[in-house]
Chain A
Amino acid sequence: MLSLQNIQTYYGNIQALKDVSIEVEEGEIVALIGANGAGKTTTLMSICGITPPRFGEVYLDGDPIHELSPEGIVKKGVVQVPEGRRIFPDMTVLENLEMGAFLRTNKRQIQQDLNYVMTLFPILEKRQNQLGGTLSGGEQQMLAISRALMARPRVLLLDEPSLGLAPLIIKQIFEIIRQINKENNTTIFLVEQNANQALKLADRGYVMENGRITLVDSAESLLANDEVRRAYLGI
């Protein structure tokens, strides 16, 4: 469904991604794991057109999307929950959710999705008139995921959804991600440093080092892989 073919992304003269190829099938959960600075976030930003690749292609259902603008890519249904949640701090929870549906026009469907995310995360309904910046980290993560869902994504990209959260909240968030994937058949591409959690959730995984993909396998095999266990699971 989502296919990255030999993408190379640069910041000025510095090459951040070297020949990265990733395939994500429809309905799959795929995890990308790796250390700090490996290029995981850059991979997502390249897919979303924020740092477009200098070479290589990104396809969605066979259509090239690497030359589209960021809003064109969102319109195609590829939506990101960025690292650090990036809630609009001076907008209310409700306004943040509305911004997620910025490109949509069908009011009835938007309302429907609003109800849906509020059943996923009932706390958001309670907080709907509160400013986004006043939420706790866990609530912000829930809001960030909900905001992305408001765009009715076909592919949901998640960047470090567990970052800075308490273990209990992480468990809850990952549970919801699985639920979103099951209920709506939303394809999920997940970037994580928390390799253990990510691989338990995912069907398949990619390992990234210094801007290159070094390993691809099923999540189970990666969890059992000695190299991965030593480097990323601390076992």
Chain B
Amino acid sequence: MDIEYFLELFFSGLTRGSIYALIALGYTMVYGIIQLINFAHGEIYMIGAFVALIVAGVCTIYGLSGFAILVLAAAIAIIYAAAYGYTLEKIAYRPLRGSPRLSPLISAIGMSIFLQNYVLLAQTPDFLPFPRLIPSFAFMDPVAHIIGSPELVILITTLITMVLLTLLIKKSRVGKAMRATQQDLSMARLVGINVDRVISLTFVIGSVLAAIGGVLVASYIGQVNFYIGFLAGVKAFTAAVLGGIGSIPGAVLGGLIIGWSESFAAGYFSSDYEDVLTFVLLVVILIVRPAGILGKVRKQKV
């Protein structure tokens, strides 16, 4: 077996996987708190990528270049996505709080379709080229056939993001409020946590992560259209379920497993099989461990 080829596939899988993990975190955090699969989450990711594209276009006109554009585009994409996530929860899910679980789920699917078509109409149905904002570092040249500069930037960015997220959840006051709400929502209210605010915050954080993922992927793949959110969303959702929905380490693990399975399937068999392997894996794991790899079986007390 060619070790360099293996490493190349390994790093490309790791890169994809870490992006899936970023998006999967949004699914899993929301599910952990309100037991809702936010099907419109992939669209937030897509909107993040589009906003970044527009900002990058404007910046190029003004003659900014390279890294400055990437940072600025990402920052504005994050703000937009956060606002979308916040509004989404407020108008599509909050009014349905306390109604049967199917209602917000249908509302989520509705919002997903709405946002896709909104971007389709407001922008274009075509694929748009996304500028390659991540520069090539000279020091990466010797290993560029195994791991390129864009992969390195994506890996470092996702790593930093996840460390910050972990610190936020473990150490900060709002993080503790989020964990308390996730573990027992009405008890959280009884100790004086404003649960509505925690839920809003969860949507905002998930959207920020999705936007970061959107910008990274768009500048890595080099093109965007209104439909990218659906595909990425399905993969990331699969990652969240695979790892155990509601579990944060589970989302990261699930994302990485899917990234690797895709990459190795494409590299050793054929790219036609990358999705097949992913979903075969999902089916197998759900048969063996229905709660996902790191998921907890919730005991229902009667």
- B283: shortest Cβ distance to chain A, in Å? 29
Name A72's closest neighbour in chain B (CB-CB): B192
- B191: shortest Cβ distance to chain A, in Å? 5
Closest 9 CB pairs of A and B: A74-B192, A71-B192, A86-B187, A103-B192, A70-B189, A88-B183, A102-B192, A99-B191, A102-B191
Report whether A71 and B194 are in contact in the complex, using a CB–CB cutoff of 8 Å.
Answer: yes
Instruction: Find chain B residues with CB under 8 A from A80 CB.
Output: 190
Given contacts A80-B190, A82-B190, A151-B191, 12 further A-B contacts (CB under 8 A): A48-B190, A82-B187, A88-B179, A88-B184, A90-B179, A91-B176, A91-B179, A91-B183, A99-B176, A99-B193, A100-B191, A102-B193
A154 beta carbon closer than 8 Å to chain B: no
Report whether A151 and B192 are in contact in the complex, using a CB–CB cutoff of 8 Å.
Answer: yes
Binary contact readout B84-98 vs A (1 if CB under 8 angstroms, 0 otherwise): 000000000000000
- A96: shortest Cβ distance to chain B, in Å? 9
Binary contact readout A181-220 vs B (1 if CB under 8 angstroms, 0 otherwise): 0000000000000000000000000000000000000000
Name A81's closest neighbour in chain B (CB-CB): B190
A18 beta carbon closer than 8 Å to chain B: no
In the bound assembly, the distance between CA atoms of A90 and B184 in angstroms comes to 10
Interface residues of A (CB under 8 A from B): 48, 50, 69-71, 74-75, 79-80, 82, 86, 88-91, 95, 98-100, 102-103, 147, 151
- B247: shortest Cβ distance to chain A, in Å? 11
Q: Which parts of B204-236 form the interface with A (CB within 8 Å)?
A: none
Binary contact readout B169-190 vs A (1 if CB under 8 angstroms, 0 otherwise): 0000100110110011011111
Report whether A74 and B190 are in contact in the complex, using a CB–CB cutoff of 8 Å.
Answer: yes
Report whether B184 and A86 are in contact in the complex, using a CB–CB cutoff of 8 Å.
Answer: yes
- B172: shortest Cβ distance to chain A, in Å? 12
In the bound assembly, the distance between CA atoms of A147 and B187 in angstroms comes to 11
> Which one of B186, B192, B193 has the highest number of Cβ atoms from chain A below 10 Å of its Cβ?
B192
Instruction: Find chain B residues with CB under 8 A from A88 CB.
Output: 179-180, 183-184, 187
Instruction: Find chain A residues with CB under 8 A from B184 CB.
Output: 86, 88-89
- B87: shortest Cβ distance to chain A, in Å? 22
Interface residues of B (CB under 8 A from A): 173, 176-177, 179-180, 183-184, 186-194
**Which of B173, B190, B191, B192 contacts A50 (CB under 8 A)?**
B190
Report whether A74 and B187 are in contact in the complex, using a CB–CB cutoff of 8 Å.
Answer: no
Instruction: Find chain B residues with CB under 8 A from A86 CB.
Output: 184, 186-187, 190
Report whether B189 and A71 are in contact in the complex, using a CB–CB cutoff of 8 Å.
Answer: yes
In the bound assembly, the distance between CA atoms of A74 and B189 in angstroms comes to 9
In the bound assembly, the distance between CA atoms of A95 and B188 in angstroms comes to 13
Report whether A90 and B190 are in contact in the complex, using a CB–CB cutoff of 8 Å.
Answer: no
> Which one of B176, B177, B186, B187 has the highest number of Cβ atoms from chain A below 10 Å of its Cβ?
B187
Instruction: Find chain A residues with CB under 8 A from B192 CB.
Output: 70-71, 74-75, 102-103, 151
Name A73's closest neighbour in chain B (CB-CB): B192
Instruction: Find chain A residues with CB under 8 A from B176 CB.
Output: 91, 95, 98-99
Between A and B, 11 residue pairs with Cβ closer than 8 Å are A71-B192, A71-B194, A74-B191, A74-B192, A82-B187, A91-B176, A99-B180, A102-B173, A102-B191, A103-B192, A151-B192
